[in-house]
Amino acid sequence: MPELPEVETVRRGLDDLIIDKVVAQVSFTHAKQFPNDPQAVKNFLIGARVRATGRRGKVLFIHLDNDYSLVIHLKMTGQLVYIDDSARWGGGHPSDSLVQSLPDKSTHVTITFRDGSRLYYNDQRRFGWIKLYSDPEIQSIPLIAGMGPEPLSKLTTAEDVMQRIRRKKNSGIKATLLDQSVIAGIGNIYADESLWAAGIHPERRVFTLKDAELKTLHKEIVQVLRLSLDKGGSTDKNYVNARGQRGSYIDFARVFRREGAPCKRCKNEIIKIRVAGRGTHICAVCQPMSGTKRVRKGRG
């Protein structure tokens, strides 16, 4: 699943492409991918002009000029492809649909704009969806209402994030980071990367973490997300950005998908374990369960 940097990269790309476009027509294959009342689509989507794009956690928004918005969740294999006379850009899961003629069998929603350009929503596994909401409704969608703060927002303080983590005192720290109600937008890649950077074992229970460790963890989360955004997201699941360029974050990953390779800090071998039901990459030396990495023993 794309995480915050990948979804934000798609949003930025879309923002350059579809602002001010007027929706002329929409077609879809399954109500699961486009669960909308036909009358609402007719009244509030057709003829509406794209005003802005947005994102909350891993969820994308296309805001219209009539106080309605399309809410888009790409989930595992969702992909958006924009095509006009002179350009073709895609973002999300990089199946062949990014380059072959559309619609194809993975195309589940097609939005045609008045100028003839099109936005295709392709989704091989069909977990994702696009839903029309009035703007006041958006904040009460359970997915959005229950979401924790945006880690890169200037309004989100370290103290706020630490407090929210602390509430999960008996949970493992990795499971806590993956919990979108604690902090928005972090998935498997950035959880592993930030825990390695902070020297914290992913299975440690929250109550065992010192304030200094949580503070470091928060700092590393912000840094790793910023770095990935700078690199256009990761190539995990081969996500590409809205211009069809591959993100390069994974080239900078320190533990993720590096099992068997030497730790970039201590040269110990990176191992893959299972935590919170997810494949998890750690350096057992830098991230001990005891949390005493920085305590020097003997004459060291």
Out of 184, 195, 283, 293, which residue is the one contacting Zn ion (CB under 5 A)?
A: 283
Q: Which is nearer to Zn ion, 108 or 293 (CB)?
A: 293
Out of 230, 266, 279, 289, which residue is the one contacting Zn ion (CB under 5 A)?
A: 266
Closest contact distance (angstroms) between CB of 268 and Zn ion is 5
Backbone φ and ψ of 194, nearest 5°? -75, -35
Q: Is 278 a catalytic residue?
A: yes
Closest contact distance (angstroms) between CB of 81 and Zn ion is 41
Contacts of 209 (CB under 8 A, 6+ apart): 165, 173, 200, 217, 291
Only one of the segments 5-13, 52-60, 171-179, 259-267 lies at the binding site for Zn ion (rule: CB under 5 A); that segment is: 259-267
Site membership for Zn ion, residue 284 (CB under 5 A):
no
Closest contact distance (angstroms) between CB of 270 and Zn ion is 8
Tokens linked to 208: 């065992």
Maximum CA extent, the chain: 75
137-168 burial: b if 16+ Cβ within 10 Å, else e: ebeeeeebeebbbbbbeeebeeeebbebbeeb
Contacts of 231 (CB under 8 A, 6+ apart): 5, 247, 248, 249, 251, 252
Coil, strand or helix at 114: coil
Only one of the segments 6-14, 70-78, 219-227, 276-284 lies at the binding site for Zn ion (rule: CB under 5 A); that segment is: 276-284
Out of 263, 275, 276, 282, which residue is the one contacting Zn ion (CB under 5 A)?
A: 263
For the chain, helix (H) and strand (E) counts, in that order, are 8, 11
Catalytic member of 21, 55, 56, 58: 58
Task: Give, in order, the Cα–Cα distances in Å from 210 to each of 14, 95, 165, 283.
Answer: 41, 43, 12, 20
Letter for the amino acid at 184? Answer: A
Only one of the segments 28-36, 54-62, 216-224, 282-290 lies at the binding site for Zn ion (rule: CB under 5 A); that segment is: 282-290
Q: Is 142 a catalytic residue?
A: no
Tell me the chain's radius of gyration from C-alpha atoms.
Answer: 21
Closest contact distance (angstroms) between CB of 27 and Zn ion is 52
Only one of the segments 42-50, 85-93, 102-110, 283-291 lies at the binding site for Zn ion (rule: CB under 5 A); that segment is: 283-291
Out of 84, 285, 288, 291, which residue is the one contacting Zn ion (CB under 5 A)?
A: 285
- Residue 105 is classified by DSSP as T
Write down the residue that tokens 């990176």 correspond to: 270
Closest contact distance (angstroms) between CB of 251 and Zn ion is 19
- Number of residues engaging Zn ion in binding (CB under 5 A): 7
Closest contact distance (angstroms) between CB of 234 and Zn ion is 21
Only one of the segments 89-97, 201-209, 222-230, 261-269 lies at the binding site for Zn ion (rule: CB under 5 A); that segment is: 261-269
Out of 130, 195, 242, 286, which residue is the one contacting Zn ion (CB under 5 A)?
A: 286
* Residues β-bridged to residue 46: none
Contacts of 169 (CB under 8 A, 6+ apart): 205, 206, 207
Q: Which is nearer to Zn ion, 34 or 196 (CB)?
A: 196
Active site residues: 2-3, 58, 278
Instruction: List contacts with Zn ion (CB under 5 A).
Output: 263, 265-266, 268, 283, 285-286
